Structure 1
């Protein structure tokens, strides 16, 4: 099974394998790699780059780069590592063939596990504190969708609302949902002004889509407070 989401910042491949036997034979492995290359070529937002990435993937396949990947999990890891050389937004995972979304089955169980994991990690908010000099500090490890982490985000912003400056530490942030980025950034912009936060490009559209600052916020906006963002080589794009 193959499913794909292509956008300006993400492309996800889901790889299926037999429900009982987890091992892949050579024919199955070749079919998955060929399908992955075709999906990248057809759906990557930049058609020229997509074609080049797909060509490199096929060359690696022909040279035997995936010959040791004998399970769906190891093949997904090998494809992910190969694709990350080109773009860290690629994610490759095994998706068991099961019931469609919304019905009882592996997808529903996986979603429950994901929701529980998001809650256990506090929706990405690792630490919120006040540093010496009255500087607010927020350590974020990922951006959860606002429908899940919005209350936690607002609590973090409220905690640092009386500081003289704010630091967002994104050095370990893997990226995540644009809605959370929009929510956080909007609190440090003038709500009276229309501000474009991000622009997304997709191969499925002839025009880009724009993410604008929120005109209404549940908390106070602070457009004049000094804001600092710490990043590293491990920071995902949303960070």
Structure 2
């Protein structure tokens, strides 16, 4: 455990406050949170035994006003590079290498229904395009498809658009990101071309969710649901719709700060705080069997 002989809370809090006020998508909330962190620091609330406990306390305070689960001080057991985002990238790469590139399961169930599990993340497209294309192309011949996001904790919005492109027939507006920086907006569309074969936009499609499904995985489920393309089966997801970046503020600590917010072109809203509401609610453990039953009934009908 990192002790306070190696970790002084003041520089960590000072840098967290600076990043928060410069980058957080909601400037007014950032100012309120900055005041809260400074007050808690002055009160001695952060004089704790180590980096992991400091991360827990600061994260609780950062999320205390609006419950933004992307706004965190994250503890890393292994030292990480001071380069921006290096902590997240290092851990992400390890997960990528041990999960078949983020598509650990492709299976054909009875009745011509395929399952593609995307976990534990939707990895950056420069890494994940090949394994995702292989998995989705393999499943493209199925009569119905279940995309399992129950264990997916988020990832890259470009990868969301890439996956959606295999599940639609035409180029489609999926999402708009509104960024604090320069008050700009950026639209996300499915792609006009994909490597491999598309499952397409007409065969039955089901998406499994759990209370662990988060961030970009929620966007994938929400985009397809709002377009009327997929039926979401399972549990309400965690509710994080604010894309973020990470900065290393200590060898074992990383601040993640949301810099924008998602706006769906159909609903005009997003899933922040509410999660993606399933069309067919059931426990995560039951959701695969339930979706399979629904697919078989749809195909039979």
TM-score (structure 2 length as normaliser): 0.60
- Give the equivalent residue in structure 2 for 1:237: 215
- Give the equivalent residue in structure 1 for 2:187: 210
C-alpha separation in 2, matches of 1:35 and 1:25:
19
RMSD: 3.2
- Give the equivalent residue in structure 2 for 1:151: 130
C-alpha separation in 2, matches of 1:99 and 1:26:
16
- Find out whether 1:90 has 2:71 as its counterpart: yes
The 3-state SS of whatever aligns with 1:235 is: coil
The 3-state SS of whatever aligns with 2:8 is: helix
Aligned in 2, Cα 1:200/1:169: closer, same or farther, shift over 3 Å?
same
Cα displacement string for residues 131-184 of structure 1 (whole angstroms, at most 9, x for unaligned residues): 223222122221111211211111111221111221111122110112211110
- Give the equivalent residue in structure 1 for 2:274: none
The 3-state SS of whatever aligns with 1:205 is: helix
The 3-state SS of whatever aligns with 2:179 is: coil
Q: Which of 177, 182, 203 is the matching residue for 1:200? A: 177
Q: Which of 206, 227, 245 is the matching residue for 1:228? A: 206
Structural mapping, 1:58-97, within 5 Å? 58-68=38-48, 70-84=49-63, 86-93=67-74
- Give the equivalent residue in structure 2 for 1:182: 161
- Give the equivalent residue in structure 2 for 1:164: 143
Cα displacement string for residues 16-56 of structure 1 (whole angstroms, at most 9, x for unaligned residues): xxxxx953359930231232133213211122333333344
The 3-state SS of whatever aligns with 2:182 is: coil
C-alpha separation in 2, matches of 1:59 and 1:133:
61
- Give the equivalent residue in structure 1 for 2:21: 41
**Alpha carbons 2:144, 2:203 under 8 Å: kept:** yes
Cα displacement string for residues 98-143 of structure 1 (whole angstroms, at most 9, x for unaligned residues): 7869xxxxx6x99667534421122222322122232221222211
After the TM superposition, which of the residue ranges 197-206 and 152-161 deviates more from structure 2? Answer: 197-206
Provide structure 2 residue ranges, at least 5 long, that are not aligned to the other structure.
Answer: 218-301
Q: Which of 14, 24, 28 is the matching residue for 2:4? A: 24
TM-score (structure 1 length as normaliser): 0.73
Number of aligned residue pairs: give it: 210
**Alpha carbons 2:179, 2:185 under 8 Å: kept:** yes
Cα displacement string for residues 31-85 of structure 1 (whole angstroms, at most 9, x for unaligned residues): 31232133213211122333333344344444544221x4344433443354355
Aligned in 2, Cα 1:29/1:197: closer, same or farther, shift over 3 Å?
same
The 3-state SS of whatever aligns with 1:41 is: helix
Aligned in 2, Cα 1:97/1:149: closer, same or farther, shift over 3 Å?
closer
- Give the equivalent residue in structure 2 for 1:10: none
Provide structure 1 residue ranges, at least 5 long, that are not aligned to the other structure.
Answer: 1-20, 102-106
- Find out whether 1:134 has 2:134 as its counterpart: no
